[in-house]
Amino acid sequence: MNSRRPQKKKEVRSFSEMPVAKDNQFWDALMENKVAKKLIKKHKCKAKCENIDELAKRYEVSKQEVEKVFKIFQLMDDDGSGTISSSEVAKMLNELGIDVSPKVVQAVMRSSDVSGDGQIDFEEFLAAVTSKIKLSTVKADVELMLSKIDHNPEKVITAEELVVAWSETVSTNITVKEACALIQQADTQGRGKATIHEFITMCQTV
């Protein structure tokens, strides 16, 4: 008589039990997620990042960083279209055990889709990631940087103003796309713009 061991049921966590990625902390959660790191290591790129040298120079990051972000992008681009939709973002979040509530998915799309076409292309995705990395290195200079724009905390920041103030305050530069991504992440009302106060509040969580 064959005695079979009862198979363990696969543990399924409800969304409420999953670690929640707050709107402006999504990118950190994605980049540091242990499951994501394993997937990235195993992932074989379906395509090459053609303009890797140009992108590394434009966003002032290493080619290795661009390649890493490209792998994450390809993991999320489920249909191989070269862009990421909200449904693909939700699917990847679910696989990584990160909160997939509509609010979080919308926040991800809002903070990345600079063109506003409802899809995230690779450069938009890269800009969102690199902008967070750069912001974490200049946190101490943020208030000084924003004071160059205006001392009024309710003043709305434009991407162009942020690019200029950034270049005048710290040693690195950011592109307009990176500035747009940061402003969208700071936007708590979904208006497509952010005040100086909202930007400072967002910086405190980086």
> What domains are there in the chain, each with its CATH number?
21-203 (1.10.238.10)
Asked if pLDDT for residue 175 goes beyond 80, the answer is yes
Asked if pLDDT for residue 109 goes beyond 50, the answer is yes
Question: For 117-127, what is the mean pLDDT?
Answer: 88
Using left for φ > 0, alpha for ψ between -120 and 50, and beta otherwise, residue 168 falls in: alpha
**Contact at 8 Å (CB) between 136 and 142?**
no
Q: In terms of DSSP H, where are the helices of the chain?
A: 26-32, 34-42, 52-58, 63-76, 86-96, 102-112, 122-137, 142-147, 159-169, 176-186, 196-203
**Contact at 8 Å (CB) between 165 and 135?**
no
Q: Facing residues of 84 across strands?
A: 120
Query: Which residues, including other chains, have CB under 8 Å from residue 97's CB and lie 6 or more apart?
Result: 13, 18, 19, 33, 35
Helix (H) or strand (E) holding 83: strand 83-84
What is the predicted pLDDT for the residue at 15?
28
- Of 139, 145, 116, 114, the C-alpha closest to 128 is 114
**Contact at 8 Å (CB) between 103 and 23?**
yes
Asked if pLDDT for residue 172 goes beyond 60, the answer is yes
Return the structure tokens found at 16.
């409420």
Asked if pLDDT for residue 56 goes beyond 60, the answer is yes
Mean pLDDT taken over the chain: 75
Percent of the chain with pLDDT over 70: 71
Look-up of token digits 């995705």: 125
Taking CA atoms, 200 is separated from 27, 111, 151, in Å, by 18, 16, 12
CA–CA separation, 150 vs 143, rounded Å? Answer: 10
